[in-house]
């Protein structure tokens, strides 16, 4: 029987359509709107001896409704091995949907393929089954679920019945329906199965591959045969306590004669240090999810990793270490019962949201006499320095700690040993020895592989500051380090250390360099007048006093090397210079400059700086030293600085601010000469030497009393030699002196060549006597500067200049512009 797309067929009034050996049903709504088949008080039997590959039964994008009685029985649809795709089937009370094969003298179990997304509604007393009515064989057929979600919703006494289930890349949702108890063989592949409080009590075989099982469900019985487990996840999760509303970590049971495990398997156990009552008022508590294995001889047990999670990630490491049924940090994970055995031990890992100062070690070997237990112990705070995300390189290290637990009175000795390997990683062995007040001892050892180190000196030194504060008994630090997680370590420790203050000194040197360039650029300005052919004529007076005003703005960035942070900055200045005296063609002048520079570091730390700088200096211009023109300057600067730093450590977030001062002295000399000129260009090489010494006064941040920093006096220097070439081109106008300029310069910082970074020494204000050094990136030793400008001699006495510059340095880049006015008299 075929029902075309978009067609509806109703079979009613005790109609019987019967073809038991060559029947099939094809409802094809996939090419258009869905089709509907209604069977009301009737019976449709379209079975066959075997499923006919040329004429299979297919219900595709269709709706099937079965209602009413049929004679002494009820309405039914009976097919052989149908495929149900993206369809809805509704069985009214007491009706049935059956799949089976027909042969002379009897019936065989059938198959139902569910593909795509399907909805099956089964009324009170109705049956959806893979077998004929009254069949003598105990096999109830097979259900295959593929590539989609099938939702089965039932009513009282409704049955969804098959002996074998195959779930492949699919989800099966069961609601108010009797189903699991009929299943003898269950295969789950690349799928997720979530239990609903009904167990597979009649299961004989279970095969789970690349899948996860969760929820309230148990598998097998005392006669079940085999459990195959291949790269799967067992995650019991939580159940609501009896008589209350809280949720406890529930267990999951597997009862089979044989268990064969392969691949990479995971059991997820949620740790509840304080425990939650299973039944309110009984005092019986659950402290962890437990895996119960009955009867089985488990082979491949070493493929199991027990991943520990927590019911409350706000707890401290000490809460886990003193939790559990005996307040000793020991939790049951796997229990072998009824003669079950294993061939190896599992591994145990903590997920990334546990406190970083927590270690997990297996206490007991898996055996029938003792469960697999884990002991959670608190690591010494010093071990934070050894974490892969903190240390720049693993080193051979041993750290020991002895603590007495206040609740149990146990003495816990922890020994941590780090052994580097040849791949950049390391092996960490943690041995925990617990001695009870009566003298009994228990030893647990955990061995873990540490990933290659990705930290930095700054992170490691920040960890040293915090570990020392922990050792000194700072309560806030103890609590924060007790709860900070492995996933938080690097980002939070980056907010603690003082690297941005080092980086800000780099920007201070850049600002001073910009002011020096401003002064030198005015000293080398010439005055020109246009010739009739557009060329220029140098009309600069040999001795002539004047004054000038220059304003500039630069925006730049520095990219950190060797795990140093990146930062951005902007510079501005307004500089006024006045010639005050002449000495036989030479000119002496003074200058004042006011400027500001801002620095932003937001990649590793979140810190902003606002800086004001005030410069005073003298310059000396010697226009005739042989073929050279010699310019020199000597200056002093005072800086007024403020900073704002976001501080994060575990659950603590605050803002640390500071106000501090700085001083600079600097000197420079530049020599230029007219090397070549013709009617359209004049070329002038220049050589220069600049020296800057910058000192930042010590200060203390304000804000969090435990995490604010106290910095010592710090200094930074630059020693720069440069060589450049300037070009002045012919006037753009025949009647006015408007001429373009260009220059290129190479600078080499000899101090940066030897010192790739600047350093500051800092401690916590709560423990200022313990200090560590922190580094910030310099701009690097090499820089190439390119500039373009335009100069206009408004009169023979007044000149207006403007230009842009671009700089590429070893660790960053700059771009900016300036405008100036120069008046001679």
Report yes or no: 696 and 501 within 8 Å, Cβ to Cβ.
yes
534 confidence band (pLDDT: 50, 70, 90):
very low
Residue that has been written with the tokens 């771009």 in this structure:
815
Residue 405 CA to residue 506 CA, distance in Å, equals 49
Average pLDDT estimate for 454-472: 95
Q: Which tokens is 398 given?
A: 């041993």
Residue 693 CA to residue 794 CA, distance in Å, equals 39
Residue 433 CA to residue 431 CA, distance in Å, equals 7
603 has a pLDDT exceeding 90: no
Q: What angle do CA 417, 418, 422 make, to 5 degrees?
A: 150
246 has a pLDDT exceeding 80: yes
- Amino acid 545: pLDDT: 78
Q: Which of 321, 177, 301 is nearest to 227 (CA)?
A: 301
* Least confident stretch, 60-64, 238-242, 534-538, 631-635: 534-538
Q: What average pLDDT does the structure give for the chain?
A: 92
32 has a pLDDT exceeding 70: no
Burial of 691 (0-12, 13-18, 19+ CB in 10 A): middle
Q: Which tokens is 435 given?
A: 């001695």
Q: pLDDT tens across 697-721, in order?
A: 999 999 999 999 999 999 999 999 9
Q: What angle do CA 408, 414, 418 make, to 5 degrees?
A: 160
538 has a pLDDT exceeding 70: no
Report yes or no: 673 and 732 within 8 Å, Cβ to Cβ.
no
Residue 621 CA to residue 579 CA, distance in Å, equals 10
The percentage of residues in the chain with a pLDDT greater than 90, rounded to a whole number, is: 78
Average pLDDT estimate for 228-250: 96
- Amino acid 530: pLDDT: 45
Average pLDDT estimate for 433-442: 90
Strands (DSSP E) along 626-708, which ranges? 628-649, 652-672, 676-677, 681-696, 699-700
Residue that has been written with the tokens 């630069």 in this structure:
554
62 confidence band (pLDDT: 50, 70, 90):
very high
- Amino acid 386: pLDDT: 92
* Least confident stretch, 245-254, 322-331, 540-549, 669-678: 540-549
| Tally of CB atoms within 10 A around 227 | 24
| Tally of CB atoms within 10 A around 253 | 17
- Amino acid 528: pLDDT: 47
759 has a pLDDT exceeding 70: yes
253 has a pLDDT exceeding 50: yes
- Amino acid 313: pLDDT: 86
Burial of 676 (0-12, 13-18, 19+ CB in 10 A): exposed
Report yes or no: 14 and 41 within 8 Å, Cβ to Cβ.
yes
- Amino acid 269: pLDDT: 98
531 has a pLDDT exceeding 70: no
Average pLDDT estimate for 497-505: 94
* Least confident stretch, 368-377, 476-485, 646-655: 368-377
- Amino acid 292: pLDDT: 97
Q: Which tokens is 739 given?
A: 């001429």
Residue 174 CA to residue 189 CA, distance in Å, equals 18
Residue 170 CA to residue 722 CA, distance in Å, equals 70
Report yes or no: 107 and 48 within 8 Å, Cβ to Cβ.
no
Q: pLDDT tens across 779-800, in order?
A: 899 999 999 999 887 777 888 9
110 has a pLDDT exceeding 90: yes
- Amino acid 196: pLDDT: 93
696 confidence band (pLDDT: 50, 70, 90):
very high
**Torsion over CA: 539, 540, 541, 545 (sign):** positive
Residue 301 CA to residue 779 CA, distance in Å, equals 56
Average pLDDT estimate for 498-504: 95
Q: Which tokens is 233 given?
A: 């996840």
34 confidence band (pLDDT: 50, 70, 90):
confident
Question: How does strand 164-175 pair with strand 185-189?
Answer: parallel
Q: Which tokens is 749 given?
A: 């910082």
- Amino acid 51: pLDDT: 64
- Amino acid 525: pLDDT: 52
Q: pLDDT tens across 366-413, in order?
A: 787 778 999 998 899 999 999 999 999 999 999 998 988 887 888 989
DSSP 3-state of 4: coil
825 has a pLDDT exceeding 70: yes
600 has a pLDDT exceeding 50: yes
480 Ramachandran zone, left/alpha/beta (phi>0; psi -120 to 50): alpha
Sheet of 709-711, strands arranged across: 699-700, 709-711, 757-764, 767-777
Residue 268 CA to residue 533 CA, distance in Å, equals 88
527 confidence band (pLDDT: 50, 70, 90):
very low
* Least confident stretch, 308-322, 439-453, 691-705: 439-453
Average pLDDT estimate for 231-259: 96
> What's this model's pTM, rounded to 2 decimal places?
0.78
- Amino acid 72: pLDDT: 85
632 has a pLDDT exceeding 70: yes
179 Ramachandran zone, left/alpha/beta (phi>0; psi -120 to 50): alpha
In three-state form (DSSP H/G/I as H, E/B as E, the rest C), the secondary structure along 723-765 is: EEEEEEECCCCCCCEEEEEEEEEEEEEHHHHHCCEEEEEEEEC
DSSP 3-state of 359: strand
- Rounded to the nearest angstrom, the gap between the alpha carbon of residue 549 and the centroid of all alpha carbons in its chain is 51
Q: pLDDT tens across 134-180, in order?
A: 887 789 999 999 999 999 999 889 999 999 999 999 999 999 999 99
Residue 489 CA to residue 618 CA, distance in Å, equals 50
The full length of the chain comes to: 825
37 has a pLDDT exceeding 50: yes
- Amino acid 810: pLDDT: 94
Report yes or no: 168 and 190 within 8 Å, Cβ to Cβ.
yes
Average pLDDT estimate for 566-593: 94
- Amino acid 791: pLDDT: 87
Report yes or no: 87 and 59 within 8 Å, Cβ to Cβ.
yes
DSSP type of residue 368: T
The residue among 208 and 539 whose pLDDT is bigger is 208
The residues near 338 (Cβ < 8 Å, ≥ 6 apart) are 222, 255, 294, 295
Q: Which residues of 606-645 are buried (b: 16+ CB within 10 A; e: fewer)?
A: bbebebebebebbbbbbbeeeebbbbbbebebebebebeb
What is the signed CA dihedral for 164, 169, 175, 179, rounded to 10 degrees? 0
Report yes or no: 340 and 220 within 8 Å, Cβ to Cβ.
no
Q: Which tokens is 577 given?
A: 């210079």
């Amino acid at each position: 029987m075929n029902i075309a797309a978009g067609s509806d067929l109703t079979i009613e009034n005790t109609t019987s359509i019967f073809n038991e050996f060559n029947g099939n049903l094809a409802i094809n709504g996939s090419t258009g709107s869905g089709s509907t088949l209604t069977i009301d008080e009737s019976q449709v039997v379209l079975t066959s001896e075997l499923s006919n590959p040329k004429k299979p039964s297919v219900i595709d994008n269709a709706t099937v409704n079965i209602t009413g009685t049929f004679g002494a029985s009820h309405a039914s649809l009976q097919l052989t091995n149908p495929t149900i795709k993206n369809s809805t089937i509704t069985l009214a009370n007491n009706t049935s949907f059956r799949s089976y094969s027909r042969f002379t003298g009897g019936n065989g179990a059938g198959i139902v393929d569910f593909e795509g997304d399907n909805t099956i509604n089964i009324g009170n007393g109705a049956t959806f089954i893979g077998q004929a009515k009254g069949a003598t064989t105990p096999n109830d057929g097979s259900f295959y679920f593929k590539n989609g979600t099938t939702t089965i919703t039932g009513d009282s006494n409704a049955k969804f019945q098959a002996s074998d289930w195959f779930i492949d890349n699919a989800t099966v949702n069961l609601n108010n329906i009797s189903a699991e108890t009929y299943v003898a063989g269950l295969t789950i592949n690349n799928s997720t199965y979530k239990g609903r409080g009904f167990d597979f009590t009649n299961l004989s075989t279970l095969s789970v591959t690349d899948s996860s099982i969760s929820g309230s469900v148990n598998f097998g019985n005392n006669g079940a045969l085999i459990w195959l487990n291949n790269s799967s996840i067992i995650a019991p999760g939580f159940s609501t306590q009896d008589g209350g509303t809280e949720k406890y970590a529930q267990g999951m049971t597997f009862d089979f004669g044989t268990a064969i495990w392969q691949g990479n398997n995971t059991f997820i156990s949620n740790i509840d240090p304080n425990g939650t009552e299973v039944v309110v008022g009984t005092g019986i508590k659950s402290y962890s999810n437990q895996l119960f294995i009955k009867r089985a001889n488990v082979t491949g047990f070493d493929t199991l990793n027990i991943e520990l999670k927590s019911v409350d990630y706000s707890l401290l490491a000490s809460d886990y270490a003193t939790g559990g049924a005996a307040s000793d940090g020991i939790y049951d994970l796997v229990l072998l019962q009824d003669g079950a055995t294993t061939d190896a031990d599992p591994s145990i890992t903590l997920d990334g949201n546990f406190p970083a100062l927590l270690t997990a070690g297996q206490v007991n070997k898996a055996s029938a006499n003792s469960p697999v237990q884990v002991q959670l112990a608190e690591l010494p705070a010093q071990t934070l320095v050894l974490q892969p995300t903190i240390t720049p390189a693993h080193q051979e290290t041993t750290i020991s700690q002895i603590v007495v637990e206040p609740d149990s009175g146990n003495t816990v000795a922890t020994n941590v040993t780090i052994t580097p390997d040849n791949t950049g990683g390391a092996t960490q062995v943690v041995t925990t020895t617990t001695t009870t007040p009566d003298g009994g001892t228990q030893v647990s050892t955990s061995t873990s592989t540490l990933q290659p180190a990705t930290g930095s000196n700054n992170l490691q030194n920040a960890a040293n500051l915090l570990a020392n504060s922990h050792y000194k008994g700072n309560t806030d630090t103890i609590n924060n380090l007790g709860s900070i997680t492995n996933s938080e370590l690097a980002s939070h420790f980056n907010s603690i250390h003082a690297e941005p203050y080092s980086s800000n000194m780099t920007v201070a040197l850049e600002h001073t360099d910009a002011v020096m360039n401003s002064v030198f650029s005015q000293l080398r300005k010439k005055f020109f007048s246009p010739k009739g052919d557009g060329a220029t004529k140098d009309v600069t007076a040999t001795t002539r006093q004047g004054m000038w005003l220059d304003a500039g703005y630069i925006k730049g960035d520095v990219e950190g090397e060797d795990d140093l942070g990146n930062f951005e900055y902007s510079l501005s200045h307004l500089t006024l210079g006045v010639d005050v005296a002449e000495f036989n063609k030479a000119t002496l002048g003074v200058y004042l400059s006011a400027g500001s520079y801002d620095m932003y570091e937001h990649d590793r730390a979140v810190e902003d700086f606002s800086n004001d700088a005030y410069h005073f200096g003298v310059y000396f211009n010697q226009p005739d030293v042989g073929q050279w023109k010699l310019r020199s300057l000597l200056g002093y600067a005072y800086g007024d600085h403020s900073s704002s730093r976001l501080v994060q450590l575990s659950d603590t977030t605050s803002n640390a601010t500071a106000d501090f001062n700085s001083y600079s002295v600097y000197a420079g000399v530049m020599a230029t000469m007219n090397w070549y000129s013709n009617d359209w260009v004049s070329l002038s090489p220049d050589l220069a030497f600049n020296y800057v010494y910058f000192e930042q006064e010590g200060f203390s941040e304000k804000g969090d009393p435990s995490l604010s920093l106290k910095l010592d006096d710090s200094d930074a220097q630059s020693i720069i030699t440069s060589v450049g070439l300037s070009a002045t081109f012919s006037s753009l106008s025949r009647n006015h002196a408007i001429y373009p300029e260009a220059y290129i310069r190479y600078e080499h910082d000899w101090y940066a060549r030897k010192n790739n970074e600047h350093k500051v020494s800092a401690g916590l204000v709560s423990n200022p006597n313990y200090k560590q050094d922190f580094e910030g990136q310099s701009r690097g030793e090499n820089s190439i500067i390119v500039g373009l400008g335009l100069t206009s001699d408004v009169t023979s006495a007044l000149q207006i200049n403007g230009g842009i510059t671009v700089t590429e340095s070893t660790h960053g880049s700059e771009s900016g512009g300036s405008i100036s006015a120069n008046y001679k008299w």
